[in-house]
């Protein structure tokens, strides 16, 4: 089943996404290429192949969480533009 990309579809998608499309011809061409490629992929026989969730086959082992003693704290404070003693001033989050 092939979907044909036309002006009506582009207008419908731009309304749904609330985007303004400046070059509809390029978008139609690009979307059609994407859909054509998916058609090629849909023809691939995947029977008997287990789905993959990641291309990496090795198990993920997170690094151990180890507390740090803040050995670089003084360097950070020295390089900060606004500071008082060991306190640093940052911009407020609530404007």
Domain spans of the chain, in order of start: 7-42
Average pLDDT over the chain reads 87
Residue 1 pLDDT grade (very low, low, confident, very high; cuts 50, 70, 90)? low
Alpha-carbon distance of 28 to 48, in angstroms, equals 36
Cα 18–chain centre separation: 20
**pTM of structure:** 0.50
pLDDT tens for each residue of 32-77 = 999 999 999 999 999 998 888 888 878 888 888 888 777 788 888 8
- For residue 27, pLDDT over 90 is answered with yes
- Kindly report the backbone phi and psi dihedral angles of residue 50, in degrees, each rounded to the nearest multiple of 5, phi listed first: -75, 135
Beta strands in the chain (DSSP E): 83-84, 87-88
- The reported pLDDT for the residue numbered 53 is 82
């Amino acid at each position: 089943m092939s979907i044909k990309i036309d002006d009506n579809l582009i207008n419908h998608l731009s309304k749904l996404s609330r985007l303004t499309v400046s070059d509809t011809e390029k978008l139609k061409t690009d979307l059609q290429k994407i859909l054509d490629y998916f058609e090629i992929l849909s023809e691939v026989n995947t029977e008997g192949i287990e789905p993959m969730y990641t291309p990496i086959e090795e198990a993920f082992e997170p690094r151990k969480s180890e507390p740090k003693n803040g050995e670089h704290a003084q360097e950070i404070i020295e390089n900060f533009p606004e500071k008082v003693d060991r306190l640093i001033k940052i911009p407020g989050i609530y404007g």
